[in-house]
Structure 1
Amino acid sequence: MRTLDALVADAIATAGATTPEGEVARQMQICNACRYCESFCAVFPAMARRLEFATADVHYLANLCHNCGACLHACQYAPPHEFAVNVPRAMAQVRVRTYAHFAWPAPLGRLYEHNGLAVALATAGGLALFLVLVLALTGGLLHAPLAGNFYAVLPHGLMAGLFGVAFAYAVLALAIGTARFWREITPGTRRPGAGAEAAHNALALTYLGGGHGDGCNEEDDRFTLARRRFHHLTFYGFLLCFASTSVATLMHYAGHPAPYPLTSAPVLLGTAGGIGLLVGPAGLLWLNLRRHPLHGDPAQRPMDRGFIALLLLTSVTGLALLAWRDTGAMALLLAMHLGVVLALFLTLPYGKFAHAMYRCAALLKSTTEKRMPSALALGND
C-alpha cells in the first residue's frame, strides 16, 4: 500500500497553483489525501465529497471557510514544511476574489482592492463634513437645545429619502452579487431541513467553535471563543440598531414622531445595539491586531479594519448623539453620525460585509449536499 506521503506527492504533482484558485485546489488535494481535519468544520466534509476542484468548487469552499485557524495549527504540512499547506490564507485570498468577481455593478468590484481603513475614514469624514457645512450654511448648526428633536435640524422626509436610497442600493448590490455566486456554485436540488440548519449555523456561528467546539486559534495554539462572542455582539448589535430605526419609523407614520423618551422602544433598542456595536467591533479589532501572522491574508487586513472602524464610529457617534441630544451640540453630532452611517451603507457591498452574504449561501449549499446521495453531491445530478 502506498504511503500518505506518496499520495501527497502525487497531489502536488497533479494540481496547478498558478492562481489563488489553483493554490486552493493544490492544498485541497493534499488535505484529501490526509483527512486529519475532516471533523474540524464544514469545509473538510465538503472537500471529501469531491475528487477534483473546479473553480466553482473552490469558490464555494473558500466562502464556506470561517478562517478559524484550527486546521492550520493542527496540520503537519503547514509552513515551514515544504508542502506549505495554509488553508485559512489560501481560502481568504480566493474569497476576496469572489467578492470582486460577482460584485454589482461589475466595474465597482475593483473597489475591493482599495477599500481599506484610510478610504473608510476618508469617506465617513467627507460625508460628515459635507453635512456639517450644509447645516452651517442653512443656519442649523448652532442652535438652542431642541429636546432631542432631530427633525428640527433635518426634515424627516429628507433623512428618510437619503438613507432609504443608500440602504436600498446596498441591499440590491449585495443581493445581485450573492445571486450570481449562488448560480455559479450550482446548489442542486432543494432538500428538506437544509435551510433551517444553514440558518442555525449562520446565526449561531457554529464553525467559529473550532474543530472541537473550544473556539478558534488566534495568536497561538490556545483555543478561545472570543472571536465568536465578539462576532455575536457585532451582528446582534447591528440588528438591534436596525430594529430601533424600523420601530421609530413605524411610530412616526403611526402618529408618534420623535423625540422619544429614554424608556421608549426605539431608544432602548438603539442603546443596546450601540453598546453591542461598540464592544463587538472593538474586540474584533483587538483580535485582528493580535492574530497569528500565518492566519488569513495580510493584504486584506486594511479592508477588515476599515469595516470595523466604520462600525465603531457608528456606535460611538450614535451613543454620543443619544447622550447629548438635548444640548446645543445636537446638530453637529447628528451630522457626524449620519455621515458615518451613510458611508457604512455605501461601502457595504464592496467591503468586509459581503462575506456574510456569500458565507450564508455556502452554508446552505453545504447543508443541502449533506442530504444528497454521494453521487449527487459530486455534481452528477
Structure 2
Amino acid sequence: MQADLIQEARRQAEICHACRYCEGYCSVFPALHRERFLTDGDITQLANLCHNCRGCYYACQYTAPHEFDLNLPKALAEVRRNSWESYAWPAPVARKFHTHGGAIAIASVLGFAAMFLAIRLIGSAGGDGFYAAFSHGAMVAIFLPAFFFPLASLAISLKKYWSSVGGTRIDLKSVARAFGMAAEMRDLSGGHGDGCNFEEEDRFSHARRHAHQAILYGFLLCFASTSAGTLMHYFLDMPAPYPLWSLPKLFGIPGGVLLTGGCAWMMSLKLRSDRTLGDGNAWGGDFGFIALLGFVALSGLALYVLGSTAAMPLLLALHLGSVLSFFLLTPFTKMAHGFYRLTALIRDAQQKQA
C-alpha cells in the first residue's frame, strides 16, 4: 500500500517537474524542482511540506478529465498520512485513530471523565477550588506520565522520519528559518500571497491560514497559562485558585477563546471543503481531533465561568478527561502534523543552504 501511494505521488510529481507552472506556489515546488530524481524519501519530504492548500490543483491544466488525471494535493495527503502511520509509535494506534478518530475521541473523553468521577467518589479530594473535587496529588500522578508519553512517542517517530528523508546534523540557522515559516504559516498564504483555495474552490482565501493561527497562538497561550500556574505553585508557593488578573488567567482566558474559535472555524472550513482533494481515509480522524481540541478549550472556559457552582465537579471531570485524551492521542492525531511539518521545514532549509 505504501509503495503504491509513493509511486502514484512520484508519477504526478514528475509531471509537475516537467511542467513547472506552479513553481512559485509554496515550499513543495522549489523542493520538487531541486531534485532530478525523486527517491521515496524525497516524496515523503514533499508530502510533509505540503499544507493541502489546493492552489496547485485549481491552477493545473492536467487535472481530470485530462488523461494525466493529476490530483497532487490528494496524492501527497495520502503519502503524508501513511508516513505518520508508519513512523508513529506504536503504529497500530495511529492507523485506528485516522479511520475511527471521532469515535475514539468521544469514547476516551467519556471514559476518562468517568474515571475522574470514580476517583472523586473514593475520596481523592482536599483543598481549595478544583482541588476540593480532585486532589493535587491525584492530578499529578495521572498527568505527569501522560505529559511525557507523547513527547517520547513523537521523538521516536520524528527520528525515523528524519532518517528517511536524509536529514543531516541540525544547525540553528535552519531551525530559525523553519520556525519563522511556521510562525507566519507562509505556505498557507500561497506563493502569490493571496491565500489558498481550501474551502472556496478557485477563489483565494486567507481563512484557513487565520484559523490555523488562532489555533496555534491559542494553544501556546493555554500552554503558557499552565506553565505559569506550575511555576507559581511549586516555586512561589502560590497554589490555585488564581484571581482574574493573575498570569494563569491572563494567558488562559484569551488562549481558550482563540483556541475554541479557531477550532470551530477550522471545522466549518473542513465541512465546506472538497474531500476529493485530500485524504478521505483521514478525514474523520482529522475532524475528530479538531473537535477534541476545541472541546478542551471550551470546557476550560465553561469551568472558569461555572467553577463556583454545583456543576463544577462534572465539568472538571469532562475537562480533565478531554485534556488527558488530548495528551495520550497527540502522537497519533493531526496534532502530530505540526511536528512533522516543522521537521520537514528544517530539512528544506538545510537543502536550500546546501
Q: In 1, distance between residues paired with 2:91 and 2:19?
A: 39
Deviation, 1:77, is 0.5
- How does 1:1-381 map onto structure 2 within 5 Å? 19-138=4-123, 149-188=129-168, 193-217=173-197, 218-253=199-234, 254-372=236-354
Whose Rg is larger?
Answer: 1
Letter aligned with residue 354 of structure 1: A
Name the CA shift for 1:211/1:80 in 2 (closer, same or farther; >3 Å).
farther
Deviation, 1:202, is 1.1
Deviation, 1:251, is 0.6
Q: In 2, distance between residues paired with 1:130 and 1:188?
A: 45
For structure 2, the residue ranges without an aligned partner over 5 or more in a row are: none
Task: Give the TM-score, by structure 2 length.
Answer: 0.94
Letter aligned with residue 241 of structure 1: C
What SS does the corresponding residue of 1:36 show, helix, strand or coil?
A: coil
Name the CA shift for 1:134/1:40 in 2 (closer, same or farther; >3 Å).
same
Deviation, 1:86, is 0.8
Letter aligned with residue 236 of structure 1: Y
What SS does the corresponding residue of 1:247 show, helix, strand or coil?
A: helix
| Large movers: runs of 4+ above 4 Å | 189-192
Q: In 1, distance between residues paired with 2:116 and 2:100?
A: 22
Of residues 103-112 and 51-60 in structure 1, the stretch that sits farther from structure 2 once superposed is 103-112
Letter aligned with residue 203 of structure 2: R
Q: In 1, distance between residues paired with 2:228 and 2:3?
A: 51
Equivalenced residue count is: 351
Q: Tell me the alpha carbon deviations over residues 27-51 of structure 1, each in whole angstroms, 9 at most, x when there is no partner.
A: 0110011000000011111111112
Q: Tell me the alpha carbon deviations over residues 281-336 of structure 1, each in whole angstroms, 9 at most, x when there is no partner.
A: 00000000001243211221101111111111101110010001112221111111
Letter aligned with residue 196 of structure 2: C
Q: In 1, distance between residues paired with 2:170 and 2:218?
A: 32
For structure 1, the residue ranges without an aligned partner over 5 or more in a row are: 1-16, 373-381
Letter aligned with residue 186 of structure 1: G
Task: Give the TM-score, by structure 1 length.
Answer: 0.88
Deviation, 1:137, is 4.6
Of residues 207-216 and 111-120 in structure 1, the stretch that sits farther from structure 2 once superposed is 111-120
Q: In 2, distance between residues paired with 1:190 and 1:229?
A: 30
Deviation, 1:108, is 3.5
